Amino acid sequence: MTDSNFNTNQCVTVLYDGACPLCQREIAMYKNLTPIDDKLQVTFEDVNDPTTVIPAGVTRAQLLQRFHVRNMDQELVSGAKAFIALWAVLPGWRWLAKIGSLPGATWCMEILYVVFLFVRPVLQRLASIGRETGMYYDDIRYRLDKDQK
């Protein structure tokens, strides 16, 4: 997997918010995976990088609001459809893509994603605290529980 503008039908391009600590962690996990097929390539583009070419018909601000993937058909999809497109080509995640492809499942996943987007700012602040202090969510929860006792 690479960080480039590789553009073939055998390529899935992930457009992500590199300034988001949650996104950084998730993308780092995906980058460590090798696509299920040797002919497939997954590329990652940080939308916050000014050198990243923004796809036609969408703004940088729109890309930063939601998770986007250019799928193998070169169609730009977002939200649940974007996750399903990425998961479909990664080992260990295909099962979730298959579930997401069941009738009504993508719609349900999209609703959950919209709820996540609502709480994302709070989660980003927690992740930022962890990055700055070396403390992560489990450590923070443990300390909060300990202080309340």
- pLDDT, one tens digit per residue, over 2-36 is 444 444 458 899 999 998 888 888 999 999 998 88
Residue for token digits 């002919």? 39
Query: Which tens digit of pLDDT belongs to each residue from 80-108?
Result: 999 999 999 999 999 999 999 999 999 99
Instruction: Say how far apart CA 26 and CA 30 lie, in whole Å.
Output: 6
Instruction: Say how far apart CA 126 and CA 16 lie, in whole Å.
Output: 19
- Note the pTM of the prediction, 2 decimals: 0.76
Residue 83, CA distances (Å) to 79, 122, 138 in order:
7, 21, 25
Amino acid (one-letter) located at 120: R
Query: Which tens digit of pLDDT belongs to each residue from 37-55?
Result: 888 899 999 999 999 999 9
